[in-house]
Amino acid sequence: METPAGYGVVLLTAGNMQEAEAIANALVEAKLAACVSLLPIHSIYTWQGELHKEQEWQLLIKTDLAQFPAMEAKIKELHSYEVPEIIALPIVAGSQAYLQWISQQVKSRD
């Protein structure tokens, strides 16, 4: 097990599977993410003073967090939500082989 420097998982929700897949494809093709996993979820939240209960898609985006600014810009360009959830969580430990794979898939650190 390796202690990674700069790798993370970015959480993002989308309103439907088509939007989730479009964003995932764009991030992987642009080498801003190594992998994006899509999960159907049920969200309960308050937006503009009203309680909402919605079916959404959770994107789990594995990346080098050095790419976060470019990733955030790409997500905002493609996302339909006024304020999309874009939350980065650091990977505090991971298998060396997997972290090397992330590094190979994502744009080089500058």
- Fold for the domain defined by 7-106: Alpha-Beta Plaits (3.30.70)
The stretch 25-52 carries a mean pLDDT of 97
Q: Is the model's pLDDT at 110 over the cut of 80?
A: no
User: Mean pLDDT over residues 68-82, rounded?
Assistant: 96
Sign (positive/negative) of CA torsion 33, 39, 40, 42? negative
- Residues with Cβ within 8 Å of 24's Cβ and at least 6 positions away in sequence, in order, are 33, 36, 38, 59, 61
Which residue stretches of the chain are H helix?
Answer: 17-29, 68-78, 96-105
**Global pTM?**
0.90
pLDDT over threshold 80, residue 20: yes
User: What is the per-residue pLDDT for 107?
Assistant: 83
